[in-house]
Amino acid sequence: MGLIKHALNFILFSFGKITPITGPVRVHWDITELCNSKCRHCTRWKIKNSKDDLSYRECIKFIDELKKIGTLAISFAGNEPLMRKDIYEIIEYACRKGFAISLNTNGILMSEENINRLIDNGVRSFIFSLDSRYKEKNDSIRGVKGAFEKIFAAAKIIKEIKEKTGKEITIQVTTVVNNENINDLEKTVKLCKDKGFDKIVLQPIHNIPKYFESEEELIPKEENFPEMERQINSIIEKYGNFIAVPKEYLKNFRTFFENPLSLLKYRCGASFITCDIRANGDVVPCPVGFAKMGNLRENSFREIWFSEASNKIRKNIKNNKHPLCWFACIQPINITSHNIRYLKIGKIIDKEFLKHAFSKLK
């Protein structure tokens, strides 16, 4: 029944509705401000302050509220979620409540003991950050020596557990496309497939104040756009079934860099279909965090989600009064909604993307 209600909510959104009839299908939860990476396309690791993170009891209360409002999936992230010592207990509680659980991690703290504990506690989707098939380049972009090897060591352990136990666990890589790895994209995809990952997401680099301020030399240059397009088209042709985003999303990377405002044609489902939770309890529409819907220490999630303040944000989003991003956590949803509204049946039925999308709700 819950999935049917979310499907109806999605269709209503696609045809212009502003007020949702249920809670978000998935929340992306930055559960701590702590991070042990120093990524050159992110500035969140510089915060180094977790004193305002929600307490364990506040986290449990929030999970209960998500259950009551009909949310199906929680994506635990950070900064780096494993920097939080009680993350295992929080995940275990969320799993017992019936949520589909995914973990976004840099892999640095992923020992065999930790991996077994996470799987035993309910994690069924691991999402790693990898920016190049070349160790030195990846570690330079991520700012930590040894990050490359940690990811593949962790993936190997997870794969062995899958084969031994028969548990349905997915291992994903997310690659941030930037000026230093444009020539490596296809090789990175091939390496991940050869190493037994289940899927990969490519996402363009952003330069957004506070959280995603990138080094200037990482922003793709105009002269490199043709090579980026060539690599993406080759990846689509050779590895289409391995890519966890719609082809239409990938084909708009160059547009995002050259003419981003034209992508506002895809109405954004942030604050309607999904939302983000900051470590201090702030509820925001998306990773950009351009507006605050409320704070979990001041009101319940239900009160925030169905408030007039949130509806005002949704109205502004519908009227394109919001920053334009091309993040993979929301834009594939927006593209699907756009194609439903305009009855582009061939593009709606992207079997591989739908398979990857629904895997996050199991």
pLDDT of residue 350 exceeding 70 = no
Query: Which residue type, as a one-letter code, is found at position 215?
Result: E
pLDDT in tens, 19-69: 999 999 999 999 999 999 999 999 888 877 788 999 999 999 999 999 999
What is the residue type of 320? N
- For 1-361, the fitting CATH number among 3.20.20.70, 3.90.580.10, 1.10.579.10, 3.30.930.10 is 3.20.20.70
CA dihedral 316, 288, 329, 306 (to 10 degrees): -40
Q: What is the DSSP string of 28-78?
A: EEE--S--S---TT--GGG----TTSPPHHHHHHHHHHHHHHT--EEEEES
Per-residue pLDDT at 349 = 58
pLDDT digits (tens, 9 = 90+) for 140-151: 999 999 999 999
Model confidence at 356: pLDDT above 70: no
Residue 224 has pLDDT above 60, yes or no: yes
**Per-residue model confidence as pLDDT tens digits over 59-113:** 999 999 999 999 999 999 989 999 999 999 999 999 999 999 999 999 999 999 9
Give residues with Cβ within 8 angstroms of 321, minimum separation 6: none
> Can you name the residues that pair with 270 across neighbouring β-strands?
274
pLDDT band at 358; cut points 50, 70, 90: low
pLDDT above 80: residue 4: yes
Average pLDDT over all residues of the chain: 94
User: If we measure between CA atoms, which residue out of 269, 275, 263 comes closest to residue 28?
Assistant: 275
What residues does each domain of the chain span? 1-361
